[in-house]
Amino acid sequence: MKNKRISFLLFFNFAFFLVPPLNAQGPNTTSFDVLISFFSAYKAPYRLSTITLPFEGLSYNFNKILDRSFLDKDLKAMSGYKQDSFFSQKDISYLKSQVQKENELVRIDSCLLLRNNIAFIGPAKEQNEYKNRSGSVTKVTQPLFSIDGNKALFYLERYCGDGCGHGVVFLMEKQKGKWVVVHNRKVWAE
Amino acid sequence: MRKTIFLLLAAFSVSLIFLYSCRKTESVTAATEIVKPAFSVADAKKWYVNLLSGTTSPLAKAGHFKPLWEGAVNSEDETYFIVESQVQFDHTPGFVIHPDLEMADTNNIKGKTKLLVLKSKKNGHVQAVLMHIVSQNTSGSEINYRPKGTHFTGDIFFTDLEGTFINGWKYYNGRVTEKSTAAAPKQTNNEVVGFAKPEDGDGCHRDEIRYYEQTCYYYTDGSQAFCSGWEYITSMFTTYCPTGGDPTDGAVQEIYQTNEVYSNQSIIDSLLGYPCAQNILKNLPDLNDFTDSMLNVVFGLNDDVDLKFRVSTRLTSSSQPNGETNHLGIVNGIHQLQIELNPWVLEHASQDFIARLMMHEGIHAMIQYEYEKYSSGLIDSTTFKSLYPLVWQYSRGNLALAEHIQISEAYVSSMAHALRSFNPALDIWKSTALAWAGLQDTGAYQALQDLNDVTDFNYMAKFGSAIDYETNGLKKCN
């Protein structure tokens, strides 16, 4: 009987370690890493005192831009990337397979945001920013990932008051364990 | 001896056969070279794909259908080289065309829509339009842009990719009997979709074009499986008048009218229906400093730029962007640039705000022109860097933001000077404030000491009343 209990406890403890803790490795955490890396690097040119990150999600029709000829345009000339294409054709298909999840929320931990010196604003403040003539709102989509998980793409829209705004697709790559922006493609700009 | 002669003759005959065969092959090759069209299906497809990849706006326009290039055909008329393609729609359009004020036969919805890619023989400009065929006696799928056949009876009308009416023709047994031209898509109070109504003449009448959609499902080979019922979408009204049966009739007209002000290049001004905005555009090249400096690139001097100003049908409300500039691609060495302007702004904003908007978007066009030249290897990085050092510095991070940083650092004062030339009633502060509009995403704007005043002034210059404009020395359109 005692042996059975020990066996059970051993099994239980072993099984416990098999269950991942909340917010451990998973697509949302990776998405978060991508976005935090991006915003940390881009705070200065964006003057990011306020950002709206998609608690409510930014919906975007990725099918319009998931095309290698669009994404790879100027890749070498402007970004110095050594390969002709950022994503392989298989990656593109894989990216498309993730599009159906585009409305899935990126779970952002506001405490982590604050630790990274990025302020987070919720929907109410966001509305105030729209009303404010010199206000600004930045929104991003859920990133989409390559098959190996080392490349990502997301879409960002920024409204910076009347007559000011743009939409850009950012291509990011994990280099030496850090996510870095490799290339960007302007989708629209005012 | 006989045997030798026979062998010689046989050898000679075989030689002749080979020689003849060789000549035949050569003539086939030569013939292939001769018939190669000046504007091929591949050219049209490449242009169209560029149109889609360059921007969101054409995507939004054209994303609802897919050209079937495999079956595309070439033709030409006096004005255009033409590539004509069948299209597969997400929602297939259908039409009922009937005299206004009479009951429409809603049980007889029909129509066949094709994509035309037209290259002007005059200036090389390429444009895409939709040809809608409503045949009385057939499905319409057998009708081509050229020729249309001798038995066709029905309607053919043309729209741009967004559905804006260009012109329409009525046929009876292959002959044009009536035409309608309406180039200004400006909404009026008494028309659902208000076209510029031609002067009514003898025999003219007004028709309603009722637009329907149905959803069709296709097999993997592209053939149609089945379609849903028709759903009424909207109506367009236009006036048809009798024609003299001119054989050149029945063609799509040029959507854009060449503006003679820019005689040394093909700036194409489609701000039709907005004479105030057209007048501002015409005056821009005469503004001191600005003309002498960079805007000459897009407004006058460069023959390899084809710039179009368009009234946007996508950006139409006051809360949407005031304007958007896109490089649509390079066709036969000519850069296709398009500036879309929000009609709400053209109707309500002050002239000074509109002039500022045209300059701002013009600079975007100029930067994009040089950027494309660099990225396609026409100029080297040193040249590009010397032209736009800030675009070079920031474009790796965010090209859209980089362009605004360049404008904020290098063009605000020259824009302000040009605006004072446009309207001498503006003082330096007001003209400079206007020049800052749209640059709020830059650090330089955020660092302005009078940031709130600048922001408020620009808000007034766009949304103000006639009294506001007058009080502040701004000019009002209309």
Bridge partners for A180 per DSSP? A173
User: Can you give the pLDDT at residue A106?
Assistant: 55
Whether residues B320 and B263 share a domain: the answer is yes
Nearest to B162 by CA among B122, B186, B129: B129
Interface membership of A136 toward B (CB under 8 Å):
yes
| Cβ atoms < 10 Å from Cβ of B272 | 18
Whether residues B238 and B261 share a domain: the answer is no
pLDDT at B192 over 60: no
Among B207, B242, B277, the domain-final residue is B242
A–B CB contacts, 8 A cutoff, strictly below: 103
CA distance B454 to chain A (A): 10
| Cβ atoms < 10 Å from Cβ of B340 | 22
Q: Which whole number is the average pLDDT over B100-121?
A: 81
| B30: confidence class by pLDDT, cuts 50, 70, 90 | very low
Using the CB atoms, write b or e for A48-80: b if 16+ within 10 Å: bebbbbbeebbebebebbbebebbbbbbeebbe
pLDDT at A12 over 70: no
pLDDT at B389 over 50: yes
Q: A187, B56: Cβ pair inside 8 Å?
A: yes
pLDDT at B256 over 70: no
Read off the tokens for A140: 């991003």
| A108: confidence class by pLDDT, cuts 50, 70, 90 | low
Q: Which of A108-112, B71-75, B325-329 has the least mean pLDDT?
A: A108-112
More confident residue, A47 or A64: A64
Whether residues B308 and B193 share a domain: the answer is no
User: Can you give the pLDDT at residue B214?
Assistant: 84
CA distance A27 to chain B (A): 25
| B429: confidence class by pLDDT, cuts 50, 70, 90 | very high
Whether residues B46 and B111 share a domain: the answer is yes
Read off the tokens for B20: 């003849």
Determine which of B338, B367, B399, B455 to mutate to test the interface with A (most A C-beta atoms within 10 Å): B399
Tens digits of per-residue pLDDT, B447-463? Answer: 999 999 999 999 999 99
Q: Which of residues 26-45 of A touch B (CB under 8 A)?
A: 42, 45
CA distance B138 to chain A (A): 36
Number of domains chain B is built from: 2
- Determine contact, residues A38/B398, Cβ cutoff 8 Å: no
Q: Which whole number is the average pLDDT over B339-346?
A: 92
What's the CA gap between A28 and A41, in Å, rounded? 20
Q: Which whole number is the average pLDDT over B160-186?
A: 71
Q: Which whole number is the average pLDDT over B121-132?
A: 77
Q: Which of B242-246, B282-286, B343-347, B378-382 has the least mean pLDDT?
A: B242-246
User: Can you give the pLDDT at residue B432?
Assistant: 96
Among B216, B242, B268, the domain-final residue is B242
CA atoms within 13 A on the CB side of B428: 2
Among B217, B242, B267, the domain-final residue is B242
What's the CA gap between B26 and B253, in Å, rounded? 41
What's the CA gap between B169 and B353, in Å, rounded? 40
User: Can you give the pLDDT at residue B29?
Assistant: 31
Asked whether residue B61 is assigned to any structural domain, the reply reads: yes
Asked whether residue B445 is assigned to any structural domain, the reply reads: yes
Give the number of residues written for chain B: 478
User: Can you give the pLDDT at residue B474?
Assistant: 96
- Determine contact, residues B352/B422, Cβ cutoff 8 Å: yes
Interface membership of A134 toward B (CB under 8 Å):
yes
Nearest residue on chain A to B405, alpha-carbon basis: A45
The contacts of residue B85 (CB under 8 Å, 6+ apart) are B41, B44, B67, B68, B69, B71, B72, B114, B115, B116, B117
What's the CA gap between A181 and A152, in Å, rounded? 9
Tell me if residue A156 falls in helix, strand or coil.
strand
| B427: confidence class by pLDDT, cuts 50, 70, 90 | very high
Asked whether residue B13 is assigned to any structural domain, the reply reads: no
| B99: confidence class by pLDDT, cuts 50, 70, 90 | confident
| Cβ atoms < 10 Å from Cβ of A115 | 10
Interface membership of A79 toward B (CB under 8 Å):
yes
Share of chain B above pLDDT 90, in %: 18
The contacts of residue B343 (CB under 8 Å, 6+ apart) are B186, B274, B311, B312, B313, B316
More confident residue, B398 or B291: B398
pLDDT at B478 over 90: no
- Residue B397: which of A45, A133, A158 has the nearest Cβ? A45
Q: Which of A69-83, B58-72, B250-264, B347-361 has the least mean pLDDT?
A: B250-264
Q: Which whole number is the average pLDDT over A133-160?
A: 85
Share of chain A above pLDDT 90, in %: 19
Whether residues B266 and B222 share a domain: the answer is no
pLDDT at B146 over 60: yes
Asked whether residue B14 is assigned to any structural domain, the reply reads: no
- Residue B403: which of A77, A79, A189 has the nearest Cβ? A189
| B234: confidence class by pLDDT, cuts 50, 70, 90 | confident
Asked if the interface predicted TM-score (ipTM) of this complex is over 0.85, the answer is: no
- Ranked by mean pLDDT, which of A40-54, B251-265, B276-290 comes out on top? B276-290
Whether residues B93 and B217 share a domain: the answer is yes
pLDDT at B33 over 60: no
Average pLDDT for chain A: 73
Q: What is the pTM of this model?
A: 0.58
User: Can you give the pLDDT at residue B140?
Assistant: 75
Asked whether residue B192 is assigned to any structural domain, the reply reads: yes
Nearest residue on chain B to A63, alpha-carbon basis: B63
Asked whether residue B198 is assigned to any structural domain, the reply reads: yes
Whether residues B311 and B164 share a domain: the answer is no
Whether residues B360 and B466 share a domain: the answer is yes
Whether residues B228 and B366 share a domain: the answer is no
Report which residue type is found at B297.
V
User: Can you give the pLDDT at residue A81?
Assistant: 87
- Name chain B contacts of A161, Cβ cutoff 8 Å: 440, 455
pLDDT at B26 over 80: no
Tell me if residue A28 falls in helix, strand or coil.
helix
Whether residues B216 and B282 share a domain: the answer is no
What's the CA gap between B182 and B190, in Å, rounded? 16
Phi, psi of B376 (to 5 degrees): -100, 10
User: Can you give the pLDDT at residue A114?
Assistant: 62
User: Can you give the pLDDT at residue A97?
Assistant: 86
| Cβ atoms < 10 Å from Cβ of B138 | 16
More confident residue, A43 or B457: B457
User: Can you give the pLDDT at residue B62?
Assistant: 44
User: Can you give the pLDDT at residue B344?
Assistant: 93
- Determine contact, residues B269/B278, Cβ cutoff 8 Å: yes
Query: Hey, where are the domains in chain A?
Result: 25-189
| B225: confidence class by pLDDT, cuts 50, 70, 90 | confident
User: Can you give the pLDDT at residue B195?
Assistant: 33
Residue-by-residue DSSP string for A103-141: TS-----HHHHHHTT--B--HHHHHHHHHSTT--EEEEP
| Residue B132 lies in domain | 41-242
User: Can you give the pLDDT at residue B202?
Assistant: 62
- Residue A78: which of B53, B375, B441 has the nearest Cβ? B375
Asked whether residue B476 is assigned to any structural domain, the reply reads: no
pLDDT at B345 over 90: yes
User: Can you give the pLDDT at residue B277?
Assistant: 86
Q: Which whole number is the average pLDDT over B338-356?
A: 93
User: Can you give the pLDDT at residue A56?
Assistant: 56
Whether residues B409 and B275 share a domain: the answer is yes
Whether residues B262 and B212 share a domain: the answer is no
Share of chain B above pLDDT 70, in %: 72
Phi-psi region of B336 (alpha: psi -120 to 50; beta: other; left: phi over 0): beta
pLDDT at B464 over 90: yes
Q: Which whole number is the average pLDDT over B208-230?
A: 80
Q: β-strands B305-311, B268-270: how paired?
A: parallel
pLDDT at B180 over 50: yes
A98-101: list long-range contacts, CB under 8 Å, 24+ apart: A98/A144, A98/A145, A99/A62, A99/A63, A99/A66, A99/A144, A101/A142
- Residue A160: which of B326, B394, B441 has the nearest Cβ? B441
Nearest residue on chain B to A157, alpha-carbon basis: B400
pLDDT at B34 over 50: no
Report which residue type is found at B314.
R
| B90: confidence class by pLDDT, cuts 50, 70, 90 | confident
What's the CA gap between B62 and B163, in Å, rounded? 10
User: Can you give the pLDDT at residue B425?
Assistant: 94
Average pLDDT for chain B: 75
